[in-house]
Chains A and B, each alone.
Chain A
Amino acid sequence: MSFDLKGTLKPLTALKQFGQKPHTLTNVPFIPREAADRYRGLHYNNLDECIGCGNCSTICQNQAIDMIPVDGIEGKNGDSGLRPRVDHGRCCWCGLCVDVCPTGSLSLTKDYVYVSEDANSFLWTPGVDNPEGDERVSFFSTKETSLNDLGRIPMPELEGMERIKSFAEVVLGYNEEQARAEASRCISCGLCTEACPEHMHIPEYINAIAGGNDEDAVRIIYDNNPLPEMCGKVCTRRCEDICAIAHRGDPIAIRWLKRYATETVENADLLKEIINPEIKEPNGFKVGIIGAGPSGLTAAYYLALKGFDCTIYEANSKAGGMTMYGIPRYRFPEDSLDKQIEYIQKIGVRIHFNTKVGKDISFGEIYHNYDAVFMGVGFPKPWTLGIEGEELHGSIQAVNFLYEINNGKKVDIGNKVIVIGGGNVAIDAARVSARLGADVTILYRRRVQDMPADWEEIEGAEAEGIHIISQAIPIQFHGDEKGHITTVEYLKAEMVPDEHGGRPKPIAIEGSNTVIEVTAVLGAIGQQGDYSFLEEEFDEKVKIERGRIVVNEKQETTLNKLFAGGDSANRIADAISAIADGYRAVKGIEELLMKGK
């Protein structure tokens, strides 16, 4: 090969540039080019919107995301308190973490320049370490782009006007295919377990259903709830209120899925076979339980599993307490509890029905005959309005009305009924009245959105043709000469903001008197306890405050070896918190009696 003179000299001509101002480094310091609109750069997390569900961490195929506690963020109901920290050295910028974020708090920014001599500094927490990132967000998820399944599988129901023809159950239940599809929407974060008073193992049983393992789901459910068929139908489901998916979509139908799982088991024998509970040898202790409501049944079931000899005294002919006698049949058919009660009896719990404590047996006798006593006596007595005309014939208390109807009795309410109140009892009474053929109106002193009743119940009532008059305060009932109620007089109210920051208060507008004709009025403004069965010697020792029995964190009352739970002991006053009370009392009773054994 000959010597290439040209090839050797030509590069040297570049030397003429030497000493000239460089063209390529005019942007000193370096200014990066603006990235594209949907650029996937460094992460940003809106710390207030984030609920710490950890879905980003789970999806990350490079295991680049950890969940860690962050200063200034407290865990609370609906928020784990953890926030994602990203190892940006591992991230491949696929953006899946953003696509599966249920709140949409996590995003990627246009920032792509990150230079450091310390590779470990690539580990940082979006939002905490780059608070300015919110102005640079470019890749984010919306309801439309989200990979979360935001829409609930609709529950088959009877059509609105078809419902009021009978007391047939309105909700028909998911079939297998619907249940699997609904369960598959769950992201298993488990935040819901904190909202559940009983802390049921929700993500685990939903996962079991999603995977087609219904029997495992039943086992997991019965681990801390012996009345899941009841909860599956009528639970107040606080879990669904804080469901991660509910931030942008419909919450997972946790209640309906529990119902589905329990309904796959046909009878009590099969139930016992599937759960196959470990029942301990009798330990010689006897526990007496007053009231076969949710709290009493729960206490009895788990105590019996631990080898205690349990006897329940129940005033009515069926177990279930307020759920059996207060909730109408179209929500909770009479046979709903049969399988569960039979199962609880099969593992050794005795129930004496039609035995009212204070009448058929004294409290003292029970207290002295048992090593410990649990009381779940509920709130049987309705509050009255305290207005003129309440004693008129046709002015009825809603709980008494529901009790009579559920017992198969007839109550004459005529064809024009007013229900007073905004809770679930009021809605139940209204919907039952509609089924008896009456034209029904609900009077509520606040706004519809303030009603404590379930929104589904309110919607259900409206679908069944029930009118709601909100911001209406009844002041007097008028009657005819025979003492029968004829009209209700009420004042309209305006909502006044509460100066102490509470919810707005209804204040009656003077002179706004309105009169409606009625054939009956059903009062549903709440219930209270009735402790008249406690003989004097105990009455003094059991501390009661504002109508509720005072208990400690183990459900222990101020009287030795007496425990209490349910509506008469907790302020939430729903079935699942009663179950939680019963479950806690089991630990309390076990500790008390098994001390030193």
Chain B
Amino acid sequence: MSTVNIKIDGKEFAVKEGEYILNAARANNVFIPAICYLTRCSPTLACRLCLVEADGKQVYACNAKVKEGMEITVDTPNILEERRAIMEVYDVNHPLQCGVCDKSGECELQNYTLELGVDSQSYMIPDTKRETKNWSSVLHYDAGLCIVCERCTTVCKDMIGDAALTTVKRGGEALDKGFKETMPKDAYAMWNKLQKSVIAPSNGTEFTDCSDCGECAAVCPVGALVSRDFQYTSNAWDLKRVPAVSAHSSDGFQIYYEVKPTSIEDRSEKIYRVTNEWNYVSLDGAARFAYDFENRDVVKDEQAFEKAVEAFKKAQTIRFNSVITNEEALMLQTLKEKMGIKLYNPEVRAFQKFLGYYQKASGNRFYTTDTDAVMKKSDFVIAMGTALRNDSPGLKYAFNNVQKMNKGAGLYFHPVGDTLIPSFGKNVECFTHKPGLEEAALYLVLDLFADKEKLPDDVKEYIASFKSSEKKTIKEKVMKDVTEMVKDEETGEEKEVTKKVPEMVEKEITIERNGLVDLLGGNSEKFEEVFAKMMKKKESFSMMIGEDFYYHDKAENLAKLIALVEETSEIDVVMAPPKSNALGVALICDLDDEAEGYTVGYNENGDFRLSALGDGDLDMPAMNQQEGTLTNMSKRVVPTNAALEYGGYELNDIVSALIDGERETIDWTVKLPTAKGYKAIAFDDLENGYSNDGTENRGYLLKTSTRKVKMPKVEKFDEASALEGEIVYRCNPGRQFSDFTDKAHEIFEPFGLYASIAKAEELGEKVEIIFENGSIIVDVIVDDKIEGDITKLSDFKSAKDVYTLFGESRYKTVTMRKV
């Protein structure tokens, strides 16, 4: 990456080319005040505080890019005057209720008022009555406190992709004209805009139609947007911040659990909220609101422990899922090695196999990119095999962010139609294809992106076999010149006037048809033109792969096709592990395909159940009560800390009772298998944080390796394998991932069958879904962002055993019966 040299206040810095001045300054620990700017989003220019002088001209640091040799002065007398006036304006009519405000103590308005020394007020205007509102089940908006910095609307649009918020008219009084002359220019302009607007849901109703991620509340600099549950329960300074990793999606977001004693009577600690470094990481609703899934009030039950040890001694299988740390996974693997117990984890097994196929075909140990890299450089993303809105929030944010920030384009292949994805950008094309045709999607990608020179001949021929051209007569509008004589009425002169008159002309044209596009539900007549537009000025390509592929009949062929795509085109691939630590489990454990005999279930069904949900034969600590590491989607080993106390036995105690164990769970960290890319670093030596320039310093990246392999031999696909009829898709609603999210009191999404509006009407309130190997009766829930007839059945309640109903597939043809 090329750098340029700039001078800020006389000091020289070498900064990234094309960077905004503000970001460059922040990366080098130079402070420039700014309220409205968010690092990974587009500048809004609402606050105008970041005014600096660059090469003698006043510019906004958040939207002016650095240039070679630029000399920047942060404070000039004029700028200081502007900033002070801006802060005074922000304080006009701001309620003096810091005493009860939740933001007090971490409020940017308080901080900047102090920083810029505002101790008197020179401006005034009548206040406008602004009502407080509850926007959703989690969001509370106090318009009176809002300073309309638009960080919420910006992050929702540029990062989250929901664009659920917008600025609307405030109906405030117009500014006194006299201010225009007397006030600093920028402060006046900023006030003028501020006085006119306020934030509201963008759908025109009282309620937001969004994924309830709460990122808007996280970025709010003042107390205007607060989670309803947190409101007035604690002051910011009372909370202890525990750095941890989100336990639910495989993104492994860094979060802070904020804890303090439950109440005056109960001094045991409780998590009050989850916060994040919102300049560097954006959370999903599960990471932010599903935090109280701990196993509370557990004491050491010696009898149960004895029984557990006995159960392990006679166990033939341990069944577990991906909500487990790397250390625990290693313990289970050690048990397998020393005691011959089988490890059964169908959820991860599918992913592990897929990763294996991919490794074999591509020679790469891991997929080649990650969400962060996608956001930083990609300008063309392709997503397939993942319900982007539900499966992996990190991928959704990256897909959206590329459209907004990198002037990107995107292709989305998925059998379930979605109304949200196309709204991410003008250049997003969605293919709603039949399930079973995922290979066709990859062939299309090969056709569109692969270097034809590199492709094997048989593949080239195969792709060409879908191409056809046909002659078609179309009617075309042609503008024809018609000349006529017109008499000018005033002068009486005659003039010749030429007019253009449309005329329909029949014309025969040749249409190049691409059978793959049509097969995938697109229209090849139009696609070529659309695609050409999408490809303009694109340089960096990436592809997101999701869970559908791991649970696919032709998973091996898909993996080979992906390897071929990588080999022959410039596309980098990122794969979303199914849930929390699926990648870690896949790397550390040798999983078996079948469970047999006496089974110990760890957070899963079994003859003896270890459970962090509090409903098993022996209690286990939940993710927020454990320290250890997780392996996230970005192939990073990230440390998490225990937020809450846990009084019972841990897996390490059982392992120590069975074999020679370690004293603490985290003593296993250093023993993670180096052959799989892990490093022998002790837990306490792992860092956990971000640098000012956004560099992630959490844990370490897995060591990747590449070896030369032969070009993978891919198979043709079978059009007939496409599923027909009534199809159900195994997919959770946005904020649900497992029993743990379900246990959290701020997650309201119910278990059920999510259907488009039309489909839900057809199905009625409740249906019985009959699978080949059983049936389930569920409520039908409307999801207005689904399009088409395929319905989504939740799988987060393990008691409902939805995984067994679906077997090794995410799509099933079923019979539905109204109940």
Same complex: no
Interface residues of A, Cβ cutoff 8 Å to B: none
Interface residues of B, Cβ cutoff 8 Å to A: none
